[in-house]
């Protein structure tokens, strides 16, 4: 039997469109959110709080600088999070029981890893040399080693990791 009721046909047409649109949105919205969502957020979050480097007694007064890895308990990006991420390394020197200095082990020239050579720091990549306190002595680096903030809390050494732009005379945080 033919359906000649125009109102019924209009209603069926509208209902079909509404159901189709609803199903389409149910599928499309989560997909669009999945693809676009990280773009609206900070993509990488590293620690801005001081990081624990262990008991301060690990660092003997008057000893040569000691290299320690700087490890973040958690780093997140738009998609994932990772635990115990090595951010870099620092050279720690304790000159007095209450005086501790930290220098970034990242070369301020182009970012190679700085090594301790017995009486000063040396970058193996282009031979920039730095004094024990981090001042530039020779080589292409335009500035001295980058100092990092440290403090002792409840007998534990806390370091704030800061990364500076390489290849410039001034310290610009990145």
Residues that bind ligand FES (CB under 6 A): 107, 109-110, 112, 123, 125-126, 128, 139-141
Nearer to ligand FES by Cβ, of 100 and 123: the residue is 123
- CA angle in degrees (0–180, nearest 5) for 165-170-174: 25
Nearer to ligand FES by Cβ, of 104 and 141: the residue is 141
CA quadruple 170, 127, 135, 65: dihedral sign: positive
Nearer to ligand FES by Cβ, of 94 and 134: the residue is 134
Minimum gap (Å) between residue 110 Cβ and ligand FES = 4
Nearer to ligand FES by Cβ, of 100 and 122: the residue is 122
Minimum gap (Å) between residue 128 Cβ and ligand FES = 4
Phi-psi region of 8 (alpha: psi -120 to 50; beta: other; left: phi over 0): alpha
Beta-bridge mates of residue 140: none
Minimum gap (Å) between residue 123 Cβ and ligand FES = 3
**Are 72 and 44 a contacting pair, CB within 8 Å?**
no
Collapse the DSSP code of 166 into the 3-class scheme (helix H, G, I; strand E, B; otherwise coil) and give the result.
coil
Minimum gap (Å) between residue 167 Cβ and ligand FES = 9
C-alpha–C-alpha distance, residues 119 and 146, integer Å: 18
């Amino acid at each position: 039997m033919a359906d000649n009721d125009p109102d019924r046909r209009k209603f069926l047409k509208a209902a079909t469109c509404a159901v189709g649109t609803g199903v389409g949105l149910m599928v499309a919205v989560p997909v669009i959110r999945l693809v676009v969502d990280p773009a609206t957020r900070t993509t990488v979050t590293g620690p801005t709080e001081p990081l624990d480097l262990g008991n301060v007694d690990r660092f003997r007064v008057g000893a040569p600088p000691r290299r320690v890895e700087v490890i973040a308990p958690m780093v997140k990006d738009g998609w994932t999070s990772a635990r115990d991420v090595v951010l870099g390394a620092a050279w720690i020197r304790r000159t007095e029981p209450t005086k501790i200095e930290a220098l970034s082990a990242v070369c301020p020239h182009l970012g190679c890893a700085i090594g301790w050579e017995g009486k000063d720091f040396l970058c193996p990549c282009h031979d920039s040399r730095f004094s024990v306190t981090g001042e530039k002595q020779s080589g292409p680096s335009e500035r001295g080693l980058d100092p990092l903030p440290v403090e002792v809390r409840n007998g534990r050494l806390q370091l704030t990791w800061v990364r500076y732009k390489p290849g410039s005379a001034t310290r610009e945080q990145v």
